Structures are given as structure tokens and as C-alpha cells.
Homo-oligomer: A and B are copies of this chain.
Amino acid sequence: MDEPGDRMLTWQRYSAVRARSLEIAAPLGAEDQAAQSMPDASPMKWHLAHQSWFFENLVLQPLDAAYRVHDARWGPLFNSYYEALGARHPRPQRGLLTRPALAEVHAYRDTVDRALARFIDRASSALAQRAAPLIELGIQHEQQHQELMYTDILHLMSLNPLRPAVCAGAAPAAPSALPARWIEHAGGRVEVGHAGAGFAFDNEAPRHAVLLQPHALASRLVSNAEYAQFVDDGGYDRAALWLAEGWALRLAQGWTAPPYWLADGCEFTLHGVQPRDPARAVRHLSFYEAAAYAQWAGARLPTEFEWEAAVTGPQPPPDAYGEVWQWTRSAYDPYPRFAAAPGAAGEYNGKFMVGQLVLRGSSCATPRGHARASYRNFFPPAARWQFSGLRLARDL
């Protein structure tokens, strides 16, 4: 905004995404939404509140003079990691926040929604223009947390011996198995990163040139069946396949298969215990497991730029998006001339640029329309609770 019609479009987009968050939570009881299974995960109720906190603290409070904060005591409770925005409740204790109750969090969302509707409607043109990128950031942020709502609740339910299903009905059918080919790339200078008018996070910019080596990328993701061969071939018992840190973790935590694999060819999913579809992309891998698999397969992980070149090339892999995030061999480093956004929004990405790896694509839990070729997802190499898998690459 602020061209004619922009305001209505912004509101429509905002309200649709906001409604989607509630839809995700709807099948779950208040107890389910309040528990926290590990420090890395958050209660669903916390996500619902934090999403509102983001709009309240990055849009309404700075820009809307008429806005009255919903409850001043809640700021620290739902501040995730923004040092510039004050104190924060200890992350491992989010599951102890039985108050505010879920109904109160719903009321908080209503307050924020009403305030934002009024603001979008009435803000001066100048204010609306300043607000537009922050509102868009809040929408994108809400979508990122929608994916975490799924992965966090899945982790919680996986620790319940009753193995409850989060989603009703049967799991969606897997896409039929694609034939695997190598998509070759001659290498050379390519442009990567975001450019143009659409939204992108600050970590996708600036667009810049990189040099690629001649290489090939697999036309499809590694499947459960293929990964099972790795397991059966002693993949978890052969140190030579693993990075040292990964091997130490595998020993310390007793990994012998992906975390949600069960006996008898089953796996735990959002739809409860289900037969493991051999053709579906393997998921819930750590970077270490993905890298060990690639080593075993005589291949390697792609760099994030090889991946980006492939999906923007003439024959993009059909499963680049919507199945699993794909670990790359690229550390999550800043792009040349990277500049964090100004203000609190600058803490969104930049301060995490060490010790993490880039994942590309998107997963079955990613909201539609949220992914793009330049998107840089990132997680520590030990993370296993995301929908994370891999696509092979090799040198030519």
C-alpha cells in the first residue's frame, strides 16, 4: 500500500493468513495447545499469541498512535528473541504459561485484528506506506510460525505414548514416484538471491553473482525406500560416512533411523501412526544424516546456489517445493553486502548467521504461496523435527 485498492488487498491477505493459523489449531484442545515438548519447540498457544505480538510490537505500537496495548504484562511473555523490544520469558518455560488461557489469547488476536483493520483503513498515506513492508513481514512471519505449529505439535504428540493424530482423516496420498535423473548444469557465473518487486526476507538479498562448478542435481528427492537401504546397509554404524559432530551425536543419542520411524514399516505423522510410504520423500533428517546418506550414495549435498540455479533453470525438479525442505551443503552465511533491516526487524535473520545450514525449497507444512527460489530457510545441523530431507548432487 498505498495505491488505490492496496489497502483492501492488504487486509484480505492479512485476514486470510490470520484465519489460517486458527484453522491449524482448531482440531486441538486447550491442553494440547499449551504444552512445550522441548526448548526448541513452542506451544501452539504461544505461537498464536506471538504472531499477534509481532503485529502489535512491530506495526501497531510504533505506527498507530491510537493503539492501546492489549496487556502490558504480556510483552515479555510473547517476545521470542527481540532484544530491542525488551525482556523475554525464558524460552524453555513457555509451556508453563497456562495463563493467559487459550481463550484470552484468542481475545488478544481479536484485539490486534480489529486494531489492524482500523489502522489499514484510516492510516495516513505516509503511515500506510511505512507500515506496508512491516505488515507484509508480519504476514510472512505468521506463515513461518504456521509451519512451526505443525512441526512443534508433531514433536509433542510423538512423545505421547498414545500417539495421537493431530489431523483427522487419512494422510494425503504421496505423489507417485518420479523417475530419478541427473539434471546437469554446465557451471559458470549465475545470479542468485532475490531481486524484483515481490516480498523477500533480508537474508535473500542482495542479488549477486556466484561461480558454479559443472555439476548435476537429482531430479527428485531421496525417498523412504532409498533411505531404508542406507539404514539396512549399516549407514548408522559406519563412522566413515559421517561428519565428526554428527557421529558423536548419533552415538550419544542412539540414532538408528529417522526420529519418527517406527517398527514394522510405520512412521508417526500428523495423521498418527501410518505405514511408511516407500515412494515418499524421507523426512525429519538432521543435516548430519542427510550428509551421511549422500556420502553413502557416492554423491554429495548441493550448495544452496546449485539448488537455486536448478529450480530457476529450464528443467526445474517437480518436487522442489511442497514435500520437504532440502538440506544444502551451504552454511548460513550473509550474502555479500548483506544489510539487516533497520530497527527491531533487523533481528529477524541476521543475528542467526553462524552455526546453521541453509535449507531450500519448502515442505508439506509450508503455507501455499510462502516459498520461492531465493528463500533461505536455516536450522542447526542437529535439528530433526522439521520436515527436512535431501536431494543429491554430484560433480561433473
Query: A residues engaging B (CB < 8 A)?
Result: 29-35, 37, 45, 73, 76-77, 81, 83-84, 89, 93, 95-102, 156, 159-162, 164, 189, 208-211, 213, 239-240, 242-247, 287-288, 291, 329-334, 336-337, 351-355, 357, 381, 395
Contacts and interface: CB of A to CB of B under 8 A. Distances in A.
A72 to B, nearest CB: 11
A243 B354 contact: yes
B162 A101 contact: no
Contacts of A213: 208, 336-337
Contacts of A45: 31
Contacts of A352: 243-245
Given A211-B189, A242-B351, A98 B247 contact: no
Given A32-B99, A245-B355, A351-B243, A210 B211 contact: yes
B76 A161 contact: yes
A333 B329 contact: yes
A35 B92 CA distance: 13
Contacts of A81: 244
Given A334-B329, A381-B354, A31 B98 contact: yes
B208 A209 contact: no
Given A337-B395, A354-B245, A98 B32 contact: yes
Nearest to A38: B96
